[in-house]
Structure 1
Amino acid sequence: MHISGHISRLWAISRVDGVQAAFAVFSCLALVIGAFFIANLAGAERLEAQASRAASGTHMGVGSCAGSTCHGRNEADGEVVRQDELWRWQEESTPGGAHARAYRVLGEPRSLAIGKKLGIGDPRSAAMCLGCHSTPAAAKGPRYQVSDGVSCEACHGAASGWLASHYATGTSHARNVSQGLIPLENAKARAGVCLDCHLGSDAPGQFVNHRIMAAGHPRIAFEVDLFSTLTQHHDEDADYRQRKGKTNSMRMWAVGQAMALERSLSLFGKPGLGTEGMFPEFYFFDCHSCHRRIYDEEDARPAKLGNPGRPIPSGMPPYNDENMIMLSAAVRIAAPELASQYETQARGFHAAMAQGRVPAVEAANRLRQTAMALADRFSRSDFTRAQTFAIMESIASEAISPRFTDYEGSVQAVMAVDTLLSGLVTQGQVTAGSATSLRAQINQAYAAVAEPNSYKPLEFRRALGGAVRTIRSLQ
């Protein structure tokens, strides 16, 4: 199903279930960046320590969570949590069942064909696939099964340290986190976990390179708030908010964009991932810039529009900058004092790609540090109603819109507008009825990115602009 189909289903689900989220000079700036890192060093170290504990513990398996007094009920009638979480995780009829199906799809014809083309045999036993289609575990308890796919502990962390204590009388969320539970309510922690598979990491079996996609694997795309909502299996009731706080979808979106860019640039800088033989790893490039119709007659005309955000020579494939573009819109509104440095570094990175591997990696590292600082900044920001509307306006503005020349960035843009509007509904700043009344305009923007081969940049920009102009009436 294309992304527009997922969103349409999500919008309907949100109305029925009440989940109203369908869809967030240079020396002075250098001092600001430094202050961000110093202020947040302790927090970053805590997140790293928690991730380390989660990775080093024993994975107890889905069966350890499946009791009828725990998360294995058929009805959502628990007093504290729903207690039907496993049922929702497994539900075939919704996007929420995708994680439970992850291992099973490796045995389907498409996956078997990919395995044959890659020469890896059965994908169900191939390390190249199991890093994301199962739950990698250094230590496995007696109930662990690789066939469970992306299980509870893939996201919540190895449960050996906190399984018994997390339901004990008098326990606290903070205590569970100290024992290895991953604090997924924290935008940076959640994005870090999700990005391992939904964008990639340098761990075994967690990087879908261009060869894998050429063999038939779907293109990797991700937006943390939207995908979280699609797979949500809990209710954010009063008890949840008391223990973990209320989710701010706009913050989740913004932090996710910053961390996705940081992750992409980090992977690009690794020799074993950024290159393959004499070629660069094409995973990092914008697919649509190469996968276009070719005109080679005498009056051949270029199929590509000029992009002011990419100062690269004509004919050179550009880096996939979908998250970079979204961050440009966010930084202008939520961290304006960093906007100039960010834009300079982003353009500098694209320009360095034409100069060679070494200057490109150096430029990537500079931009990556700024992305990390923005993730820290955004993780502490409330994203007011006015800021959220301003970010949506910025995405469709004359400053950003000309950068929508390729499919990937355009998909991120329409997901962003829908996510940010949905966040306003969730925060009670826009009524659900008002947002629903704009569905037709938003769907027009989705239709413009419904299929990569029919994507037309100018038509998309008009559709996105129309949706944002309509949303403006809610201010």
Structure 2
Amino acid sequence: MLLKGTMNKKRAGLAGAFLCLALAGIALLIALTGPSRAALPNDATHLGVASCGGTTCHGRQYADGKVVRQDEILRWQEPSASGGAHSRAFGVLGNARGRQIAARLGLGNPQAATECLGCHSDPGKRGGQFHLSDGVGCEACHGGAQNWLASHYAVGGTHSANVARGMVPLDRPMAKAAVCLDCHFGSADGGQFVTHRMMAAGHPRISFELDLFSTLQQHWNEDGDYAARKGRTNNVRVWAVGQAMAVDRALGLFVGSLGQDGAFPQFTFYDCHSCHRAIRDGASFSPTVLANPGRPLPPGSPPFNDENMIMLSAAARIAAPELAQRFDADSRAFHAAMAQGRPQAIAAAARLRTSAQTLAATFNGTAFSRQQTFAMLDAIGSEAIAPRFTDYAGSTQAVMAMDTLLGGLVAQGSVSAANAAAVRGDINRAYAAVRDPNAYKPLEYRQALGSAIRGIRSLR
């Protein structure tokens, strides 16, 4: 309920003062930390996957453990499903595509190249049972187990005790996002950043959505015991924090040395399809680029990839309206500064990064109710947001957001699984509209998006 009169004015004044202090503090933090570094730069020794693989730990063939499944390594090793992708990360470097990419880049053996191993293996300090061939093993995400392994399997051991000894608290969205972004976007450390040259050599384009990626990799059950130890996962919170952290990471890397590549900008940060379009020269020429109100750039200027900014704007409008206007203004100013010069862009990036970090911290403490989740879905498809879906990257984020937010409503008990399945066809059609980046048609995509949004809206 809104407060009125003097009390409302006092509350607004206090909120404004608090916001100014928060922004000032975060601005100082940015100045001190500089570009984003890897989340696990100096953690303890990584003992290797085998140290987790006992039959009384995580190495069983069946999910019949009393507390946890205990078949986690088996799920991590699934040979073809998405859940086994981390275990296959090192192996794919040795296949034909991996060798071709390395050859085009002059890297030699990709399974020995730092530029590849930073993300396709566990880059931590290696113990006696560590094997590169394990790919992205347990400790690449959970942190080196040297100091917490004993407390982890001890009778009466607690999650908080493990965290105190160095285990990464992946149940906390900001901690999880920081770790995942190291590879699924990049860090300022060597070997954990996909450059435009790598993509030109054949490496896939990088995209990130924290909750969806977490779900695809999930190897645990969220039962009563999990809730008692770590609390229930709020999928909508994970999504929103992930969007804010992705914007922060992108900007943190952009302002550093990775923002340039020789005489040119580092094109990884830009929207691929703003340049990779058909070129036409004739009397009947018509532009293939749609006007984007979120990017006040002159024609021909490559725009910064704003897929996560668009989603963050939608979340902020609903969950943090007092911050949304500031974020949108900073976002527009950043895009405009990209056409002015690198010094102006760096200054604008610092302001926008401050806004993104403030939103991440705010979302980290937000419950995200049923009403807010439905409202965010509406915001993604609204007139204020949808016109920004002029390029492939932002459109793919919107589809993943619909999938994640609908799943969050089911997890909350706000929508039944049966009713959610009834609108799955609309979401699948939206996915189909962005299946092929080279066949992407913005207007047709918007129609598919609108149909999916209307289907979800009917579930209210």
Q: The TM-score by the shorter chain falls in which range?
A: over 0.9
CA distance in 1: counterparts of 2:459 and 2:128, whole angstroms: 54
Residue type at the aligned position of 1:61: G
The residue that corresponds to 2:437 in the other structure is 452
| Distance (Å, rounded) in 1 between the aligned partners of 2:39 and 2:210 | 22
- Alignment match, 1:215: 201
Where do 1:403-418 residues align within 5 Å? 403-418=388-403
Structure with bigger RCO (C-alpha 8 Å, 6+ apart):
1
Residue 252 (structure 2) aligns with: 266
Q: Are 2:89 and 1:102 equivalent residues in the alignment?
A: yes
Give, in angstroms, the shift of residue 432 of structure 1.
0.4
How far does residue 340 in structure 1 lie from its aligned partner after superposition?
Answer: 1.2
Secondary structure in 2 aligned to 1:471? helix
Task: Measure, in 2, the Cα distance between the counterparts of 1:196 and 1:93.
Answer: 24
Match of 1:78 in 2: 65
Please report the TM-score for the alignment, with normalisation by the length of structure 2: 0.93
Q: Quick one: percent identity of the two aligned structures?
A: 60
Q: What are the Cα deviations for residues 25-64 of structure 1, in whole angstroms up to 9, with x where unaligned?
A: 999757415347869x99xxxxxxxx97883201000010
Aligned mates of 1:437, 1:455 — CA distance in 2? 26
**Residues 381-434 of structure 1 deviation map (CA, whole Å, 9 limit, x = unaligned):** 000000000000000000001000000000000100110000110111110000
1:249 is matched with which residue? 235
Change (3 A) 1:30 1:400: farther
Pairing partner for 2:365 from 376, 380, 396: 380
**Any conservation in 2 of the 1:33–1:373 contact (CA below 8 Å)?**
no
Q: Is the 8 A contact 1:72 1:85 kept in 2?
A: yes
CA distance in 2, matches of 1:35, 1:62: 41
* One-letter code aligned to 2:59: G
Structure 2: where are the runs of 5+ without partners?
1-11, 30-37
SS of equivalent to 1:294: coil
Runs of 4+ in 1 over 6 A off after TM superposition: 25-28, 36-39, 51-54
1:342 aligns with 2:324: no
Q: What amino acid does structure 2 have at the position aligned with 1:337?
A: E
Partner of 1:296: 281
Which of 320, 330, 344 aligns to 1:359? It is: 344
- Does structure 2 conserve the Cα–Cα contact (< 8 Å) formed by 1:258 and 1:374? yes
The answer to whether residue 135 in structure 2 is matched with residue 149 in structure 1 is yes
Counterpart residue type for residue 222 of structure 1: F
Which residue does the alignment assign to 1:17?
none
The alpha-carbon deviation at position 277 of structure 1 amounts to 1.1
RMSD of aligned residue pairs (Cα, Å) = 2.0
Within 5 Å, give how 1:30-429 maps onto structure 2. 31-35=18-22, 55-137=42-124, 139-270=125-256, 272-429=257-414
**What runs of 5+ residues in structure 1 fail to find an aligned partner?**
1-24, 43-50
Amino acid at match of 2:233: T
User: What amino acid maps onto 1:128 in structure 2?
Assistant: E
Q: Which amino acid aligns with 1:396?
A: G
Q: Tell me the TM-score normalized by structure 1.
A: 0.90
Give the Cα–Cα distance (whole angstroms) in 2 for the partners of residues 464 and 266 of structure 1.
31
3-state SS, counterpart of residue 60 of structure 2: coil
Equivalent-residue separation in structure 2 for 1:172 and 1:245 (angstroms): 13
The CA distance in 1 between the partners of 2:215 and 2:137, in whole Å, is: 17
- Distance of 1:226 and 1:53 partners within structure 2: 22
Question: Aligned residues, how many?
Answer: 441
How has the CA–CA distance of structure 1 residues 29 and 447 changed in structure 2, closer, same or farther, with 3 Å as cutoff? farther
- 2:8 aligned residue: none
Give 1:437 shift.
Answer: 0.9
- AA paired with 1:391? M
Match for residue 432 of structure 1? Answer: 417
8 Å CA contact 1:261–1:368 kept in 2: the answer is: yes
